Amino acid sequence: GAGVSQSPSNKVTEKGKDVELRCDPISGHTALYWYRQSLGQGLEFLIYFQGNSAPDKSGLPSDRFSAERTGGSVSTLTIQRTQQEDSAVYLCASSLTGQGASPLHFGNGTRLTVT
Amino acid sequence: QQQVKQSPQSLIVQKGGISIINCAYENTAFDYFPWYQQFPGKGPALLIAIRPDVSEKKEGRFTISFNKSAKQFSLHIMDSQPGDSATYFCAASWANSKLTFGKGITLSVRP
């Protein structure tokens, strides 16, 4: 079946520009996560959506980062006024229930390069 | 505070050998311990997971060993193959919490 789809797969942008990254989760999955992966830094949690609950934004590194999830499905991560340190792979994952033992299904990520 | 720590940071193993990756955790409330495998250009994928009520779980060539008193768990890859070369992340969670990931280790299996 269809997995988690992310677009674009690669994005090059100039410093100071805004970017939008899109995630299509697996149909029926109630939980959606965004992670950032920088070289040697592992998986950095950014934000978590669970059903209709208020999102857990505790991992967003600054107010330049925001995300929304429309209709409990597609999610968009927006980075405003991009900086070079924002360069990383942004991974989206979804899970069926969002409970601790519910496996995360990751997309292949969007590689963001800020020049 | 890093709640889940992996070691070593990188590992090189000869084909046919045993790869061992360790993970230590701090939060005694954790009750679910998965390992995720990530190939270059792909997102991580669940490999194997364990609950603390068992000390070992085996799936094919992959085994998780769990030591509750030491707050450690490890991944053993038997008969390691070049196709096992990837980044491995341990993680932990409890109840309704989200997963906390380790920093990952890169495994290279030499032919």
Give residue A113's pLDDT. 97
The per-residue pLDDT for A69 is 95
Separation CA A7–CA A83 (nearest Å) = 20
Q: Do residue B98 and residue A98 have CB atoms under 8 angstroms apart?
A: yes
pLDDT in tens, B14-57: 999 999 999 999 999 999 999 999 999 999 999 999 998 999 99
Q: What is the model's pLDDT at position A97?
A: 86
The answer to whether the CB atoms of B93 and A48 lie below 8 A apart is no
Lowest mean pLDDT among A99-103, B3-7, B72-76, B107-111: A99-103
Q: How far is the C-alpha of B30 from the C-alpha of B34, rounded, in Å?
A: 11
Residue owning tokens 């997963």:
B99
Which are the contacts of A72, defined by CB distance < 8 A and separation ≥ 6? A30, A51, A52
pLDDT at A72: 80
- Asked if residues A96 and A102 have their Cβ atoms less than 8 Å apart, the reply is yes
The one-letter amino acid code at B98 reads K
pLDDT category, B73, cuts 50, 70, 90?
A: very high
Q: Find out whether A108 and A6 touch, Cβ atoms under 8 Å.
A: yes
Please state whether beta strands A75-79 and A65-69 pair in parallel, antiparallel, or not at all (unpaired). Answer: antiparallel
CB contact under 8 A, B96 and A109: no
In 3D space, the residue among A37, A30, A8 whose CA is nearest the CA of residue B38 turns out to be A37
pLDDT at A1: 58
Amino acid at position B84, single letter: D
Smallest Cα distance from B35 to chain A, Å: 10
Please report, rounded to a whole number, the percentage of residues in chain B having pLDDT higher than 70.
97
Residue B71 φ/ψ region, left for φ over 0, alpha for ψ in the -120 to 50 degree band, beta for the rest: left
Q: What is the mean pLDDT of chain B?
A: 93
* Inter-chain CB proximity A100 and B98 less than 8 Å: yes
How is residue B43 annotated by DSSP? -
What pLDDT, on a 0 to 100 scale, did the predictor assign at position A40?
Answer: 65
How close A72 gets to chain B, by Cα (Å)? 18
CA nearest A111 in B: which residue?
B41
Task: Give residue B88's pLDDT.
Answer: 97
The Cα-based distances of B84 to A71, B19, B34, B87 in angstroms read 39, 10, 17, 9
Give the number of A-B residue pairs with CB atoms closer than 8 Å: 54
Rounded CA gap, B91 and A23, in Å?
A: 23
CA dihedral B86, A11, A48, B89 (to 10 degrees): 10
Residue A13 has pLDDT above 90, yes or no: yes
The C-alpha atoms of residue A41 and residue A38 are separated, in whole angstroms, by 5
- By C-alpha distance, which of B75, B57, B88 is closest to B19? B75
